[in-house]
A and B are shown apart, each in its own frame.
Chain A
Amino acid sequence: AQSVSQHNHHVILSEAASLELGCNYSYGGTVNLFWYVQYPGQHLQLLLKYFSGDPLVKGIKGFEAEFIKSKFSFNLRKPSVQWSDTAEYFCAVKTMDSSYKLIFGSGTRLLVRP
């Protein structure tokens, strides 16, 4: 069965620090990968996605992620975080059966101190 692991449950950074959130998935076939963000009091929003092609994908608000097939990883990065990046971040993999449902990791809570 497919699964997603996020290694860091809580991350605290100061503004301007660099961010890297880990995500590993288990699935041997073709994968579509996503990072979603949930700001306090708001609904889940898509940050970026990987379907195929260039393994370095860029998303909104300066975020990027790199798909490394050999490591089954899809880590999220941002060179310089802002206080407004305080949120919960979820990595997800889309199943390739007919439902295309999402399998989520447990999430990482990021707190950025001003």
Chain B
Amino acid sequence: DTGVSQDPRHKITKRGQNVTFRCDPISEHNRLYWYRQTLGQGPEFLTYFQNEAQLEKSRLLSDRFSAERPKGSFSTLEIQRTEQGDSAMYLCASRSSGEQFFGPGTRLTVL
């Protein structure tokens, strides 16, 4: 499969714990995006990388959230001290010059 992959697909955690998600984009895509989708809503932009540089962050991305893309390949999204409001589907997408291709998402449940 040469699409965007995300790991894990599901994560259940207790409030206050830290979680980290991984996204592997399509190999030749230099642009990578993270979105968050809550029930009944469309995906909302969180952050954007071009190669290894994080060029834009949404105000939705509080200081408990951090994202990295070392070497411009895979990316990680970490949430520290999770809260119940962080429960959502976290989507990763990548693109080169055309459309964005989305991964399957990581569904986070914070108990």
A contact residues vs B (CB 8 Å cutoff): 4, 6, 9, 34, 36, 42-46, 49, 90, 92, 98-107
Contacts and interface: CB of A to CB of B under 8 A. Distances in A.
Contacts of B72: none
A109 B44 CA distance: 18
Given A43-B104, A46-B101, A100-B95, 19 more contacts: A9-B40, A42-B104, A43-B102, A44-B91, A45-B102, A46-B99, A90-B42, A92-B42, A98-B55, A99-B48, A100-B31, A101-B48, A102-B33, A102-B35, A102-B43, A104-B42, A104-B43, A106-B40, A107-B40
Interface of B: 4, 31, 33, 35, 40-45, 48, 55-56, 91, 93, 95, 99-105
Main SS class of interface, B: strand
Given A44-B91, A99-B48, A99-B56, A106 B99 contact: no
A36 B40 CA distance: 15
A77 to B, nearest CB: 20
A101 B56 CA distance: 10
Contacts of A92: 42
A107 B56 CA distance: 25
A103 B45 contact: yes
Nearest to B105: A43
A101 B45 contact: yes
A114 B102 CA distance: 29
Contacts of B40: 9, 106-107
19 contacts: A4-B42, A6-B42, A9-B40, A42-B104, A43-B104, A43-B105, A44-B93, A90-B42, A92-B42, A99-B48, A101-B45, A101-B56, A102-B33, A102-B43, A102-B100, A104-B44, A106-B41, A107-B40, A107-B42
The 9 closest A-B pairs by CB, nearest first: A104-B42, A44-B102, A43-B104, A99-B48, A101-B45, A99-B56, A90-B42, A104-B43, A43-B102
B50 to A, nearest CB: 8
